[in-house]
Structure 1
Amino acid sequence: MSNTRAVTLRFLAEAPGAEGPVTLGQDNVLRCLRNEQPSREKNEPSSLNKQATWIIPDGADETRCLDALRTLAERHAALRTVFPGAGGDRLPETQRQNVDGEFTVQVIALDPDEDPAARAEAFCWDERCHPFDLTAEFPLRLGLLTRDGRPVLLAVVVSHAQLDGVATGLLFKEWMALTSGDELPPPAGPTPIEVAEQERSSSGRRRGRAALRHWERILAEEPSAVFADDRVRSAENLLHTLGIRTPAGAAALDRAVRRTASSKSAVLTACYAALAAHRAARSTVVMAALSANRHRSVLAEHIGTLAQDALLVLDTDCPDLDTLIARTQAQALSGYWHATFETERLWKILDDSSLGRGARFVRDVVLNDVSGTVPEEIAALRPDPAADPDLSWYPTEPLPTRLMINIWRTSGCLEISLHAHPDVLDREETEHFARALLRLIDLAGQRNVTLGPDGELAALSNLPVGRREKGRWQQVGTNWVDLDALADRLRTVLDVKDVEVTWQNEELTAVVREGCTLTPTEAHTAVVDALSWRDTLMAPQRYVLPAGTGTGRD
């Protein structure tokens, strides 16, 4: 059993203490953390707080490592930030940057045969099971692993309320410099309070309002769900996960970038969207992009959290992949520009859109490109896979989506993971999707690829295509609705037996002949509340009830 001792480090910053409003990114994470706490099971790691393993340069002893950690705390306001008033259902409105304080490093002496990576993973798992005290706690939990008195790895658990993935990667680069004996220039990025002040300036508020208009338009006009077909029935969100590692894929991606004069992100996103659209049997893919708002150069070196989503609309109805890559690059720029907003106002827009449209937006398709947050020094330590591509299955996990791609690394070895809901792709189909994605990237590096009904995707992918044959399917606006499934859902929600759902005169109508005492407005609210992850359903636009007739949206 490893021997552990706690070392307490005190820090004193040159910059003065300060207090100010929270940033929009902090507010977003704080809200998500508040919602996570009641549902977290005992001994289950937080899905929001993150973990990392930092390597240690040759020659760095324990003293140098501890001094480096103290220096990081003194350099960066985010590491000295707490949130007075946080906890329970309360949302803090202010942040405080302390000038001094202390934190603890667990120094873990490894047993002779103990695997450092496995011990670091175990440390991180255990520490992520306990919420951070946001009112007082240092935002890093640190385990310095040693063997024979020499440091070998640093296990790091990160509070997402103060630091996002990019910021953690920036800290790692400074850690490597400090533990190598190098000196660092003064920090280049703004502090969290300075970011909050900019967000509340006239230009920042204009940007926030524009972002909300961007989301509001998409929520009103575009498909609420990408996948709506005979197979999509379950409201559960347990997804299987496939990891893909391929050096050949990284080389192919480099060729595609050179040939198309676009970014790696645009190529990967376009290929992913084309295959998702093919599986969904529809041309429009509404995609949530995580880690999306470091698009402005002034924030590139910011140590803090900027965690908010971008919303992209990709129209795959185009003749070829090159056109789609160009569209994707333009849409990504627009989406990322509109990824800084007031979360509370966005949630209000989401609720109002659900009631007004009768459909709840679901993040059916998700992109999470964190390749810039994993330092290449860490990624390059992993040996190349024995097979190329290497496909590895991981345990299933609950995720609020139907299809998600994580992009972990793009240089030297392409490393991605696919998370798929069984209603969308079973395990065999997920492997087909992964291989089709790699094949599409490879072809994109050689030539243009034709899309459309007579294009190459069907033969290339060997994927199922969404079929709408087993119910009474009707397109309502940009959504596909199974009228029979909707009638069944209304019987359950309204607790009635006799429901008829019709589509007449461009209007979705529910007729309930007896047993319902609700008004149309009450019925509509109840139905909308019961639509979460019911991708094939929409609430009726008109209700004929014993208590009266109306739209339910008055």
Structure 2
Amino acid sequence: MTIRFSAPDSGTAPLTWGQRAIWEAVERTAPDDHYFNFGRVLKVPGTRTVAEVTVALTALVERHGSLRTLLADPVGQRLEATGRMPVEVTTGDPDKVMAELAATRFDYHAEWPLRVALVLDGDTVTHVVLVFCHLATDGLGSDVALRDLRTLLLRGRVSGPPAPRPLDLAHWQAGPQGRQVADAAAAHWADEHARMPDTMFAGPSGDPADPPIRRALLRSPALQLATRAVALANRTSTSTVLLAATATLAGRCSGSGRCAMLPIVGNRFRRDTLGIVSTLSQEGLFTLDVDGDFPDVLRAAAPAAMRAYRSAYHDPADRARIVRDESDRRGTAVHPNCCFNDMRFADPGPAACAPADLDAALPATALEWQMSQDKLNCRFCVHVTTEGVSLTADTRHLSSDAIERYLYALEDLLVEAARR
């Protein structure tokens, strides 16, 4: 079936900084760019018919312009006021339906950046499955969309002012205030590029897989307990602990005493971005001296992380210029090729943990291989989720065995730090 939407606004604009950043990643990963698709499942409150749910979905698409925005040529965004969006109706398992909808790349110029399925039990819709194109929104933006859809199902409307528009954000970023913010971020990128290593994981692994990109997930209750205990002892966040530990081991694996890493940052710190459904997340630049004991490295990580988070709200054109100039100066390509993405919607916070608790949790550690593909825009990317910690890597630079060893070493490092 289809839903028909008719909104009062349309228009064109350049891509926002976040949209440009993800578009560059998509171009480097194509045709395997379905990697960036992601989905959410909403359990429908109460008893709702297909007609009632489609009314709410229509209102959602009309409220959030990014869900009816297409890629324009030359590269920009085109907001459409009217159109029809296909909706799949199924009785399948919601998680499997989500995986199926996310398995193919979007047609960025012609396909709406939202795929929808309704899961039925008889005449009642039990779940709404939404799969997002990453050019339209990021994880935190999808959370806004789910919250608004649930409100529309319960109340029929979302109170308050209209939702912020990516078009308006793009124009602000291109104006004098946006330029001032971009200049400050560019100064950080330039300073750090002047003293960072050329790249991480530069050498060949000697044992590439086919296809070369592989991902392993470590499910480790002990790692989670240890991370919270180390955060408590050092008065910092669990995200900072994991970032510091990831960087420490990345430096050791690369044979570099200084690690350069690109943490993915949400960039939702301005009032006009809190309720926006759009891609705001971008890479910051995090550099850290990782020689020495881990407690010393961790103490230096918190201010370095703060500088990196500020640098994430940047104009990708400035970054490209800085990278090009530094690469020309050195006579070799300069790029970390090393990412960190804490995808949890909330930090669980510091908490005490006794050594006996760690001992009891360690036998539950398990590693599973989740995916493989031909191309990725990065050599090494750690993802933190509520499931565990995963590492997606190019096995031409970090073999499958090395991926496995890295994840277990991460657990060992943090468990040992928690014991101390």
TM-score computed with the length of structure 1 as normaliser: 0.65
1:55 equivalent among 40, 43, 55: 43
Distance change >3 Å, CA 190–CA 363, structure 1 → 2: same
Q: Counterparts in 2 of 1:308-457, with a 5 A limit? A: 308-318=282-292, 320-372=293-345, 388-397=364-373, 398-409=375-386, 414-422=387-395, 425-447=398-420
1:105 and 2:79 are equivalent in the alignment: no
The answer for the alignment partner of 2:21 in structure 1 is 28
Question: Kindly tell me: are residues 408 and 23 of structure 1, through their superposed partners in 2, closer, same or farther at Cα, counting changes over 3 Å?
Answer: same
Alignment correspondent of 2:52: 64
What residue in structure 2 maps to residue 273 of structure 1? Answer: 247
Shift of 1:392: 0.7
Q: CA deviation at 1:165?
A: 2.0
Letter in 1 for 2:297: L
Q: Which amino acid aligns with 1:140?
A: L
CA RMSD across the alignment: 3.3
What does 1:81-100 align with in structure 2 at a 5 Å threshold? 81-83=69-71, 85-86=72-73, 90-92=74-76, 95-100=77-82
Q: State the distance in 2 between where 1:297 and 1:232 align.
A: 49
CA 1:183/1:323 → structure 2, altered by over 3 Å: closer, same or farther?
Answer: farther
Structure 2 CA distance for aligned equivalents of residues 67 and 24 of structure 1: 32
Gaps of 5+ in 2: 348-360
Q: Secondary structure at the match of 2:308?
A: helix
Deviations 1:61-85 (A, max 9, x none): 32332222122123223224345x4
- SS at structure 1 position matched to 2:87: strand
Query: 2: CA distance between counterparts of 1:315 and 1:59?
Result: 56
Letter in 1 for 2:312: A
Mapped to 1, the partners of 2:79 and 2:248 lie a distance apart of 46
Aligned position for 2:95: 117
- Structure 2 distance, partners of 1:254, 1:189, is 36
Q: Letter of the aligned partner of 1:204 in structure 2?
A: G
Taking the aligned partners of 1:313 and 1:445, their CA distance within structure 2 comes to: 24
* More divergent stretch after superposition (308-317 vs 427-436): 427-436
Q: Is the 8 A contact 1:11 1:73 kept in 2?
A: yes
- Map Cα deviations across residues 3-24 of structure 1 (whole Å, 9 max, x no partner): xxx1x223344x6545544322
Residue identity opposite 1:72 in structure 2: L
CA spacing shift, 1:254–1:221, aligned 2, 3 Å: closer
Structure 1 residue 160 displacement after superposition:
2.2
C-alpha distance in structure 2 between counterparts of 1:62 and 1:386, whole Å: 46
Once residues 309 and 183 of structure 2 are traced to their aligned partners in structure 1, the CA distance between those partners, rounded to angstroms, is 14
> Residues 189 and 299 of structure 1 are in contact (CA less than 8 Å); yes or no, is this contact kept in structure 2?
no
Partner of 1:206: 180
Question: In structure 2, what is the equivalent of residue 132 of structure 1?
Answer: 108
Rounded Cα–Cα distance in structure 1 between residues aligned with 2:128 and 2:109: 22
Partner deviation per Cα, 1:420-440 (whole Å, 9 max, x = no partner): 344554434433322221233
Deviations 1:269-328 (A, max 9, x none): 11111122222232200001234533546533322112432111111134x433322322
1:293-304 mapped onto 2 (5 Å cutoff)? 293-296=267-270, 298-304=272-278
Cα contact 1:257–1:445 (8 A) shared by 2: no
Q: Distance in 2 between matches of 1:220 and 1:386?
A: 42
Partner SS state of residue 34, structure 2? coil
Structure 1 residues 267, 182: CA separation in 2 closer, same or farther (over 3 Å shift)? farther
Corresponding residue for 1:74?
62
CA distance in 1: counterparts of 2:142 and 2:120, whole angstroms: 22
2: CA distance, partners of 1:56 / 1:333? 39
Deviation of 1:167 after TM superposition, in Å, equals 0.6
Say if 1:51 and 1:124, in contact at 8 Å, map to a contact too. Answer: yes
For each residue in 1:443-494, what CA deviation from the matched residue of structure 2 results, as whole angstroms up to 9, or x when unmatched?
Answer: 44443xxxxxxxxxxxxxxxxxxxxxxxxxxxxxxxxxxxxxxxxxxxxxxx
Amino acid at match of 2:88: Q
Q: Secondary structure at the match of 2:131?
A: strand
In 2, the alpha carbon distance for the partners of 1:203 and 1:326 equals 34
Aligned residues of 1:293 and 1:310 also touching (Cα < 8 A)? no
- Mapped to 2, the partners of 1:303 and 1:174 lie a distance apart of 10
User: What is the TM-score of this pair, normalised by structure 2?
Assistant: 0.83
Secondary structure of the corresponding residue to residue 324 of structure 1: helix
1:33-84 CA-partner distances (Å, limit 9, x unpaired): 4565xx52xxx6633343334333353332332222122123223224345x
Distance in 1, matches of 2:160 and 2:33, equals 35
The answer to whether the Cα contact below 8 Å between 2:144 and 2:277 also exists between their aligned partners in 1 is yes
The runs of 5 or more residues in structure 1 that have no matched partner are 1-5, 375-384, 448-554
**Cα offset, 1:406, TM superposition:** 0.8
The residue type equivalent to 1:221 in the other structure is: R
> 1:9 corresponds to which letter in structure 2?
I
* Counterpart contact for 2:379–2:393, Cα < 8 Å: yes
Structure 2 counterpart SS, 1:221:
coil
Q: Compare CA radii of gyration and give the structure with the larger one.
A: 1
Partner of 2:123: 149
Higher normalized contact order (CA 8 Å, seq sep 6+, divided by chain length): 2
Aligned residue type for 1:322 = P
- Report the structure, 1 or 2, having the larger helix content: 2
CA distance in 1, matches of 2:204, 2:9: 61
Structure 1 residues 233 and 211, CA, compared in 2 at 3 Å: closer, same or farther? farther
**2: CA distance, partners of 1:206 / 1:258:** 37
| Alpha-carbon distance between aligned partners in 2 of 1:81 and 1:187, rounded to the nearest angstrom | 20
* Preserved CA contact (<8 Å) 2:116 2:129: yes
Kindly provide the amino acid, as one letter, of the partner of residue 384 in structure 2. I
Map 1:219-258 to 2 at 5 A: 219-228=193-202, 231=205, 238-258=212-232
- Is 1:197 aligned to residue 171 of structure 2? yes
- CA shift for structure 1 position 223: 0.4
* Residue correspondences, number: 406
Give the fraction of aligned pairs with identical amino acids, expressed as a percent. Answer: 24
